[in-house]
Amino acid sequence: MSPALPRLAPLFAALALATAWPAHAAEEVTLYTTREPKLIQPLLDAYTKESGVKVNTVFVKDGLLERVKAEGEKSPADLLMTVDVGNLMDLVDGGATQPAPSAAIEAVVPVNLRGAGGSWYALSLRDRVLYAAKDLPLNTFRYEDLADPKWKGKVCIRSGQHPYNTGLVAAMIAHDGAAATEKWLRGVKANLARKATGGDRDVARDILGGICDIGLANAYYAGHMKNAEAGSDARKWGDAIKVIRPTFLQGNGTHVNITGAAVARHAPHKEAAVKLLEYLVSAPAQALYAQANYEYPVRAGVQLDPVVASFGPLNVDTLSVADIARYRKQASELVDKVGFDQ
């Protein structure tokens, strides 16, 4: 369980009281998820307590699409939940899901964060931000600036082939075109302080170590580090950085990836699956996403963790995340073409 959860007892109580879900006697719903169950189990437990619906959680680390297709019409899966819009789109494009329109969800989730006809829905956001040394005189940034020669030898980043980065490259293609994105990738590679490797937390670690001044990472990692136990390595890394939410030259929004879900094609309990989705975008459930996992809620007006709130407002890139995901393959090919990870 996340170390943030003990301080969230009042929120758990709210989860049990704030929504008026009808009782579903002797009903259950089966969730297949690529998310670590411990990250969402508190929400599912609260849902069961309120609705009486048992949630059977099946963690599928790899091969979710293959598993569901192999099970076919006999699959017990009602709801499919993933991290990364690309993984979610693979399920939709692979024929593993079905449309599940819901006026309640559509009233909450913006159009650029859901599929047409209820084919899928985002549940939380993961914004790709700039980590910068805390004393660096820098307050605004554009993603394109990462290729500016003034940052030569000062940039840290994880593998360009990681989904977090291929998603950003795909967004760059959508905004600026393939030729400009290739030039940008070459510029970023030329500015690297070290090989593109490691994880997002390593960007903060290496900023503290003086290896680099700036780098790209997800904001929720900064939330975890800055809320870590005082004196721990993670807290030291978090305290060494500030977070800046970049935008694109051709737009005013910050790039986000998502966690999301879709109803399974052969869901035995489709109605129950939709009810669970509606619950996951309710105000108290969204607050738990925000305050326990430090992810950004898809629902407007939800109270954020104070550390995440200190990063400033998140203005999400208005391009559809599904449209961005269409460029993933081209983005991966460009990463290899420029030898970004070499």
Taking the C-alpha atoms of 278, 104, 300 and 34 in order, what is their torsion angle to the nearest 10 degrees?
30
278: left (phi over 0), alpha (psi -120 to 50) or beta: alpha
Number of CB atoms found within 10 A of residue 204's CB:
27
Measured on CA atoms in the order 196, 2, 286, 123, is the torsion positive or negative?
positive
Q: Dihedral (C-alpha) 215, 218, 222, 224: value to the nearest 10 degrees? A: -150
Helical spans, DSSP H, in the chain:
9-17, 37-51, 64-71, 85-93, 103-106, 163-176, 178-191, 200-208, 219-226, 233-239, 270-280, 283-292, 306-309, 321-325, 328-337
Secondary structure (3-state) at 157: coil
Cα 337 to chain centroid distance, Å, stands at: 27
Q: Which residues have CB under 8 Å from 271's CB, separation 6+?
A: none
* DSSP type of residue 136: S
- Tokens encoding 156: 């840290």
User: 221 among the known binding-site residues?
Assistant: yes
Known binding residue 294? Answer is no
Return d(Cα 113, Cα 235) in angstroms, integer.
32
- Residues annotated as binding site for Fe cation? 220-221
- Residues annotated as binding site? 220-221
